[in-house]
């Protein structure tokens, strides 16, 4: 626990915060002293997240919420306020990614498309709106961090729906920053590149057996390695701190230089 970000006493809600990048963010914010509510889609994943993230020094709870449902977005924010007395930080991390978000354009049916857009973009809008209302009422500085992707800037194979939602997250961030600045609420977009997901948040995974698409990413990342969830979590912790108090409406790349050429 570094304490460098100065988040003691702050209240954070992390959607999709029980595994991968979300778990690393949840753990890091809690380690920095924040009270953290983790949102997860199913009771099984929520129970696993509670066990994985539990630590004596962490003030952290887990709630079940399927963010494709509008009522669940409202209920999750309300649960955070009920549990910890307010909300200062929202991290919109929940998303359908990987193979589940990959489908050729000509094969995209409406039901599948509605799910991708609903979870990846609409839920972030709804959670941001509900959280912002609470932040304004609370009257203290607030931060909304939208976890996007380099896909906001570059098309990916068979991922037109996914790249559309991630570009939308960038637009959402800029709109939030503009509208909420008078209330001292900042909004920032974080765009990870190729991240090697490890179920143990904060623990580097052993060198994986890379698929050909993964090898392509690695060959084209100037720093010569895949990222880890902690790389993203460290950036989020900084952006949520007072040290980043003049940063809003920005998109921060955590991609090892992948988009630099």
**114-130 exposure pattern, b = at least 16 Cβ within 10 A, e = fewer:** eebbbbbbbbbbbbbeb
pLDDT of 63: 96
162 catalytically annotated: yes
What are the sequence ranges of the domains in the chain?
11-260
Mean pLDDT of the chain: 90
Residue 189: strand pairing partners? 146, 251
Q: Which of 153, 162, 238, 261 is an active site residue?
A: 162
Which of the four pLDDT bands, split at 50, 70 and 90, describes residue 2? Answer: very low
Residue 261: per-residue pLDDT: 72
Q: Average pLDDT for residues 96-112, to the nearest whole number?
A: 91
CATH code matching the domain that covers 11-260, chosen among 3.40.190.10, 3.40.50.720, 1.25.40.340, 3.90.1570.10: 3.40.50.720
Give the helix, strand, coil percentages of the chain, each rounded to 5: 50, 15, 35
Q: pLDDT value at position 200?
A: 41
């Amino acid at each position: 626990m570094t304490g460098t970000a100065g988040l003691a006493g702050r209240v954070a809600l992390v959607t999709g915060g029980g595994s991968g990048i979300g778990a690393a963010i949840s753990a890091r914010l809690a380690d920095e002293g924040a009270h953290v509510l983790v949102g997860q889609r199913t009771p099984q994943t929520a129970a696993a997240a509670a066990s994985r993230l539990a630590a004596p020094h962490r003030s952290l709870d887990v709630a079940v919420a399927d963010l494709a449902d509008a009522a669940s977005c409202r209920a999750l924010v309300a649960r955070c306020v009920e549990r910890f007395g307010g909300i200062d930080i929202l991290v919109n991390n929940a998303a359908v990614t990987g193979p589940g978000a990959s489908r050729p354009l000509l094969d995209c049916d409406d039901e599948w498309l509605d799910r991708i857009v609903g979870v990846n973009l609409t839920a972030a809008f709804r959670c941001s709106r509900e959280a912002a209302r609470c932040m304004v009422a609370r009257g203290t500085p607030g931060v909304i961090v939208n976890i996007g992707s380099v896909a906001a800037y570059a098309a990916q194979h068979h991922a037109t729906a996914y790249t559309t939602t991630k570009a939308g997250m960038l637009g959402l961030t800029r709109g939030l920053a503009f509208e909420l600045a008078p209330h001292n609420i900042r909004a920032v977009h974080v765009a990870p590149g190729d991240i090697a997901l490890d179920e143990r948040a904060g623990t580097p995974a052993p060198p994986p057996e890379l698929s050909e698409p993964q090898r392509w990413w690695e060959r084209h990342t100037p720093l010569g390695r895949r990222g880890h969830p902690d790389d993203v979590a460290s950036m989020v912790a900084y952006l949520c701190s007072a040290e980043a108090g003049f940063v809003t409406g920005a998109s921060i790349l955590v991609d090892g230089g992948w988009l630099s050429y």
